[in-house]
Amino acid sequence: MCSSDLRNMLKNPHYFPIYERHLSRYVGHPVTVFEIGTGEGGSCQMWKYYFGPMCRIVTIDIADKKEFAESQIFVRTGSQDDAEFLGNIVAEFGPPDIVLDDGSHLMTHINASFRALFPAMSTNGTYLVEDLNTAYWADFGGGLRVGGSFIERCKLLIDEMNAEYTNGALAPSAEGRAICNISFYKGIVVLEKAPFINTLLLRRPIPLPDEK
């Protein structure tokens, strides 16, 4: 590809080590990526060349960005808070392994996308939400410790992820049982899925050595 074919993108520089930490395990594998927010088309190109020739990048935008479609990159037009639209994309491409939400940054939209796509992901999937500085801004439906903020939702998910240890004080949720890790960074949250294991069943008394 010549340089004239490369498109622009806007990313915070400190995101790139985070991507490498959480996404490098997918490189070279047949991974399906849903990117919410197409922008100028450079990000989906970056992911295509990062993950390699077996990946599929499905980029989603409320504006028509079909001119950015190319080999391995599929463009779909619709709103990220439209559960039916997102469900149709899952039906078309199968469960995503990675979801990157760099869309409207509105709390209602972020929460709607998460509700629709997180349960539909592969069991070892990774879900990233970027630019969560907006979770603290009223114009985006956020604010410090404001209910409905995606940061506040993720704080609750910490407890839901560990609900099995609360002796019934907190009922397990489907999302909490699916999550094995939540990582908070400046402006970005990463949620990683894994098959649920009831670790309470793995607890065994440790035998002590005989006293002499």
Q: Say which of 14, 22, 29, 105 is annotated catalytic.
A: 105
Specify the pLDDT at position 177: 94
Tell me if 65 is assigned to some domain: yes
Count of structural domains within the chain: 1
Q: Is 109 a catalytic residue?
A: no
Tell me if 155 is assigned to some domain: no
Tell me if 94 is assigned to some domain: yes
- CATH code of the domain in which 94 resides: 3.40.50.150
Specify the pLDDT at position 154: 98
Residue 29 buriedness (CB in 10 A; 0-12 / 13-18 / 19+): exposed
Specify the pLDDT at position 4: 47
Q: Where are the alpha helices (DSSP H) in 76-193?
A: 83-93, 107-117, 150-161, 174-178
Tell me if 210 is assigned to some domain: no
Check: CB of residue 123 under 8 Å from CB of residue 194: yes
Q: Can you give the residue range of the structural domain that contains 126?
A: 25-131+179-195
Tell me if 10 is assigned to some domain: no
Model-level pTM? 0.90
Q: Where are the alpha helices (DSSP H) in 140-205?
A: 150-161, 174-178
Specify the pLDDT at position 211: 54
Tell me if 62 is assigned to some domain: yes
Strand order in the sheet with 179-185: 73-77, 56-61, 32-36, 98-101, 126-129, 188-193, 179-185
Termini Cα distance of the chain: 74
Tell me if 201 is assigned to some domain: no
Q: Output the furthest CA–CA distance in the chain (Å, rounded).
A: 78
Q: Per-residue pLDDT for the chain (212 aa), expressed as one digit of tens each?
A: 444 477 888 888 999 999 999 999 999 999 999 999 999 999 999 999 999 999 999 999 999 999 999 999 999 999 999 999 999 999 999 999 999 999 999 999 999 999 999 999 999 999 999 999 999 999 999 999 999 999 999 999 999 999 999 999 999 899 999 999 999 999 999 999 998 777 666 555 566 666 54
Q: Which residues pair with 98 in a beta bridge?
A: 33, 126
Query: Which one, of 66, 101, 96, lies nearest residue 80 by Cα?
Result: 101
Residue 159's alpha-carbon distances to 50, 180, 204, in angstroms, are: 34, 12, 24
DSSP 24: G
Specify the pLDDT at position 180: 95
Tell me if 202 is assigned to some domain: no
Specify the pLDDT at position 97: 99
Specify the pLDDT at position 8: 80
Reduced to 3 states, what is the DSSP secondary structure of residue 4? helix
Specify the pLDDT at position 2: 40
